[in-house]
Structure 1
Amino acid sequence: MRSFLLAVGLLAGFSIVHGQNYVNVPLKSNITQVNPMIGLVFWDDNYFTPYTAYSLEYLYLPVNNLVIGRVNGTLQYNWTYLENRLNNIANRGHQAIFRPYYEYPGDPTAVPAFLKNISGYKGQVYSGEEFMDWRSADLRILHLDMHTQFALRYDSDPRVFCVETGFGFWSEYHISGGPNLQLGYNFPSGEFQLEAITLITSLFKNTPVLYSIDIADIYDNWCPVFQNISNLPFGSFDDSSFANDTQDWNDGNKQRLGWWTRYQQQPLGGEIAYEDNVQQHALDVNGPEGVPLPTYVANYHYTFLIANDQTTYQYNGPLTQIQRIQQVGQTFGYKFTITSFQTNGTHTQVTVQNTGVAPAYKNMFLQVSGVQSSVSLKYLQPGSSLTVTVQVNTSSPTLKIVSPFITSKQTIQYEANL
Structure 2
Amino acid sequence: MQQRFSIFKTLLILGMGLIGSQCEDSTAQETATAWRTVNVSNTITRVAPWSGIVFWNDNDAVDTDAIQLEYSYVKYNDIVRDKGVYDWTMVETLLDQAASRGHQQILRFYFIYPGEPTTVPDYIKQLSHYKEITAKSEGNPTGFVDWSAPEVQQFALDFYSEFAARYDQDPRLAYLQTGFGLWAEYHIYDGPWKMGQTFPTKQFQTTFLNHLAKQFRDTPWMISIDAADTDYTPFDDQPELLRLNFGVFDDSFLCKPHAKENAKNWAFFGRDRWERGPGGGEFSYYNKKDQKLALSASGPNGRTFQDMASEFHLTFIIGNDQSRYQPMPRIAEAGMAIGYRMTISDCQTNGNDWRIKVTNSGIAPMYHDAFVAIGDRRSATSLKGLLPGKSAVCEIAKGGSKPDISIQSDRLVNGQTIPFEAK
Query: Given the two structures, how large is their TM-score scaled by the length of structure 1?
Result: 0.89
Match of 2:277 among 225, 242, 266: 266
Three-state SS of the structure 2 residue aligned to 1:207 is: coil
Partner of 2:147: 134
Tell me, yes or no, if the aligned pair for 2:63 and 2:101 is still in contact at 8 Å: no
Match of 1:415 among 400, 416, 421: 421
Identify the match of residue 182 of structure 1 among 181, 189, 194.
194
Q: After the TM superposition, which of the residue ranges 225-234 and 298-307 deviates more from structure 2?
A: 225-234
Q: Deviations over 1:136-157 (max 9, x none)?
A: 1111111001011111011100
2:345 corresponding residue in structure 1: 339
1:29 paired with 2:39, answer no
Distance 2:235 2:126 in 1: 31
Residue aligning to 1:90: 99
Structure-1 separation of matches of 2:275 and 2:235: 24
- 1:76 paired residue number: 85
Matches within 5 A, 1:195-210: 195-210=207-222
Q: 1:50 Cα shift?
A: 6.1
Count of residue correspondences: 385
The 5 A counterparts of 1:156-235 are 156-179=169-192, 181-218=193-230, 221-228=231-238, 229-235=241-247
Q: Which amino acid aligns with 1:196?
A: F
CA distance in 2, matches of 1:404, 1:262: 25
Counterpart CA distance in 1 for 2:171 and 2:343 is 24
Counterpart mapping for 1:138-153 below 5 A: 138-153=151-166
What are the Cα deviations for residues 315-366 of structure 1, in whole angstroms up to 9, with x where unaligned?
Answer: xxxxxx1100000000111100111112111221111100000000110000
Q: Distance in 2 between matches of 1:198 and 1:352?
A: 34
**CA distance in structure 2 between the partners assigned to 1:265 and 1:225 by the alignment:** 18
Residue 332 of structure 2 aligns to which amino acid in structure 1?
Q
Structure 1 residue corresponding to 2:358, chosen from 323, 346, 352 = 352
Q: Distance in 2 between matches of 1:393 and 1:107?
A: 57
Which of 22, 38, 41 in structure 1 is aligned with 2:54?
Answer: 41
Structure 1 CA distance for aligned equivalents of residues 94 and 176 of structure 2:
14
Please give the alpha-carbon distance, in whole angstroms, between the structure 1 residues aligned to 2:284 and 2:308.
13
| 2:204 alignment partner, SS class | helix
Q: 2 CA distance for matches of 1:366 and 1:21?
A: 22
Structure 2 length-normalised TM: 0.88
Map of 1:57 onto structure 2: 70
1:350-399 deviation line (CA, Å, top 9, x unaligned): 11100000000110000013211111001000000111221225332210
Instruction: After TM superposition, give the deviation of residue 176 of structure 1 in Å.
Output: 0.6
Percent identical among aligned pairs is 38
Q: SS at 2:82's partner residue?
A: strand
- The structure with the largest alpha-carbon Rg is 2
Secondary structure of the residue aligned to 1:383 is coil
| One-letter code aligned to 2:167 | Y
Separation in structure 2 between the aligned mates of residue 327 and residue 129 of structure 1, nearest angstrom: 39
Give the one of 246, 261, 267 matched to 1:255: 267
Which amino acid is 1:265 matched to?
Answer: R
Residue identity in the other structure for 1:411:
T
Question: Shift of residue 47 of structure 1?
Answer: 4.9
Distance 2:171 2:297 in 1: 34
Q: Which residue does 2:286 correspond to in 1?
A: 275
State the match for 1:9 in structure 2.
none
Shift of 1:195: 0.7
Residue identity matched to 2:335 = G
Alpha-carbon distance, 1:227 to partner? 4.4
Q: Does 1:243 align with 2:249?
A: no
Aligned equivalents of 2:247, 2:323: Cα separation in 1: 27
Helix, strand or coil: the match of 1:294?
helix
User: For the residues of structure 2 that align with 1:53 and 1:92, how far apart are their CA atoms?
Assistant: 11
CA distance in structure 2 between the aligned counterparts of 1:378 and 1:263, rounded to whole angstroms: 13
CA contact (8 A) 2:380 2:395 kept: no
8 Å CA contact retained: 2:113, 2:142: no
- Three-state SS of the structure 2 residue aligned to 1:245 is coil
CA displacement at 1:20 relative to structure 2: 7.0
Partner of 1:318: none
Q: Distance in 1 between matches of 2:101 and 2:237?
A: 41
1:415/1:132 Cα in 2 relative to 1: closer, same or farther (>3 Å)? same
Task: Give, in whole Å, the separation in 2 of the partners of 1:411 and 1:147.
Answer: 30
The reply to whether residue 290 of structure 1 matches residue 302 of structure 2 is: yes
Q: Evaluate the alpha carbon distance shift between residue 378 and residue 47 of structure 1 in structure 2; reply closer, same or farther with a 3 A threshold.
A: farther
> Is the contact between residue 39 and residue 303 of structure 1 (CA under 8 Å) also seen in structure 2?
yes
User: 1:125 Cα deviation (Å)?
Assistant: 2.4
Unaligned runs of 5+ in 2: 1-31
1:392 alignment partner, one of 394, 398, 416:
398
How big is the shift at 1:194? 0.7
Query: What's the secondary structure of 2:348's corresponding residue?
Result: strand
Structure 1 spans left out of the alignment, 5+ residues: 1-18, 315-320
Q: Is the 8 A contact 2:56 2:62 kept in 1?
A: no
| Residue 114 (structure 2) aligned to one of 94, 97, 105 | 105
Residue 371 of structure 2 is aligned to residue 365 of structure 1:
yes
Q: Secondary structure at the match of 2:210?
A: helix
